[in-house]
């Protein structure tokens, strides 16, 4: 009874040694005192489960659970004083120069930009918010210089824009005219109510302290995943990932578009990761579960075998049982290294193409 496979089954007092890789753990059984370099003949060793030693790249990857949707909503505040007389519906898409909502029957229109309208824009002011305004006016066909100066050309364009939209023509742009949003938006929810007063006086009268009229998201489908701070290190903005919806179908190539920390119910910190992707012609459900597959460290040009092929010996040493051409097995000492995808890099007297025993 000298065959290694049977010795594993018959020896009493077997030691279980944990072989832990990145994101996985497996167990190998070895009899106490068994020589790590033993060689033995076996008539049927090759008939058991075996795997091939390969040479190539090993990449540590990890799959994160996520959800398909439109991302985290952001609020559109009621910055101007007035009475809400019109509101959009959830699901509506609002593009540049379209009404976000209406005050006193005058539409507050959407313009694109990341800097909110924190002041009135008039002749002589300059800054990033003025550049945003000029970019929007130019996109709408008005004659302006796309710079940070609110000069005479910008003033003339604002006056013409106000006249074209039946706004009071003042040449000054205020929160009663426009709100800056980050591109075309989709209405996620409506917080305002028809007939409600807005602005400082309205908020004080209502006892609400102000608030948002709408909650909006991007119009693009994204996958959101909540991960630990440690896992967020492999999901920095710009990282390329694979996305699967409902865990099926071919993966879609995606990219981390945004990372936002948040506090969970236990007071710990999590990170909400938003992933944009190209669905092509694929039809996706309105909402679904999703998976984000992110790569980590890569070891290139290494010999590797399944982690389960490792046999642990005394003194923290490891070996693999190599199946020779004549059907015998030889226990060959190896040094395990980087682990990924259920495989472990090994160095020792082994070569690519060798078959190793994988205990069933």
pLDDT of residue 263: 83
pLDDT of residue 52: 96
Q: Where in the chain is the domain with CATH 2.40.420.20?
A: 4-61+299-357
Nearest by Cα to 213 from 194, 235, 232: 194
Buried b (16+ CB within 10 A) or exposed e, 52-64: ebeeeebebbbeb
Q: Give per-10-residue mean pLDDT for the chain (360 aa).
A: 38 33 35 37 57 95 92 91 97 97 97 96 98 98 98 98 96 97 96 89 41 94 92 93 85 94 84 93 88 91 96 90 95 95 94 93
SS3 content of the chain, % helix, strand, coil (to 5): 15, 45, 40
Domain 4-61+299-357 has CATH 2.40.420.20: yes
Q: Where in the chain is the domain with CATH 2.40.30.170?
A: 63-70+221-295
pLDDT of residue 267: 78
pLDDT of residue 200: 52
pLDDT of residue 254: 96
CATH of domain 63-70+221-295: 2.40.30.170
CATH of domain 74-218: 1.10.101.10
Distance, in Å, from the CA atom of 34 to the CA atom of 314, rounded to the nearest integer, reads 8
pLDDT of residue 341: 85
Q: Where in the chain is the domain with CATH 1.10.101.10?
A: 74-218
């Amino acid at each position: 009874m000298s065959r290694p496979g049977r010795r594993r089954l018959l020896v009493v007092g077997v030691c279980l040694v944990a072989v832990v890789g990145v994101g996985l753990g497996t167990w190998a059984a070895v009899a106490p005192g068994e020589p790590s370099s033993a060689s033995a003949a076996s008539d049927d060793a090759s008939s058991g489960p075996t795997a091939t030693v390969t040479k190539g790249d090993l990449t540590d990857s990890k799959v994160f659970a996520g959800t398909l949707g439109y991302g985290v909503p952001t609020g559109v505040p009621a910055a101007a004083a007035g009475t809400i007389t019109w509101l959009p519906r959830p699901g509506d898409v609002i593009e540049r120069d379209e009404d976000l909502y209406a005050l006193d029957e005058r539409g507050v229109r959407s313009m694109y930009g990341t800097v909110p309208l924190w002041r009135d824009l008039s002749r002589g002011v300059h800054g990033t918010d003025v550049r945003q305004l000029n970019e929007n006016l130019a996109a709408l066909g008005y004659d302006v210089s796309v710079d940070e100066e609110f000069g005479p050309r910008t003033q003339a364009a604002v006056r013409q824009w106000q006249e074209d939209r039946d706004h009071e023509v003042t040449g000054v742009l205020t929160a009663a005219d426009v709100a800056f949003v980050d591109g075309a938006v989709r209405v996620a929810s409506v917080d305002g109510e028809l007939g409600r007063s807005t602005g400082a006086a309205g908020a004080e009268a209502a006892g609400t302290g102000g608030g948002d009229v709408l909650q909006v998201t991007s119009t693009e489908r994204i996958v959101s995943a909540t991960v630990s701070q440690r896992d967020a290190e492999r999901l920095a903005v710009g990282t390329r990932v694979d996305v699967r919806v409902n865990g099926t179908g071919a993966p879609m190539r995606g990219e981390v578009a945004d990372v936002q920390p948040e506090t969970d119910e236990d007071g710990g910190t999590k990170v909400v990761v938003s992933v944009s992707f190209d669905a092509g012609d694929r039809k996706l459900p309105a909402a679904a579960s999703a998976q984000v597959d992110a790569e980590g460290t890569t070891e290139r040009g290494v010999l590797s075998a399944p982690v389960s092929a490792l046999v642990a010996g005394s003194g923290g040493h490891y070996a693999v049982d190599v199946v020779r051409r004549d059907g015998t097995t030889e226990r060959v000492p190896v040094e395990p290294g980087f682990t990924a995808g259920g495989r472990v890099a090994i160095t020792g007297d082994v070569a690519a193409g060798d078959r190793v025993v994988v205990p069933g």
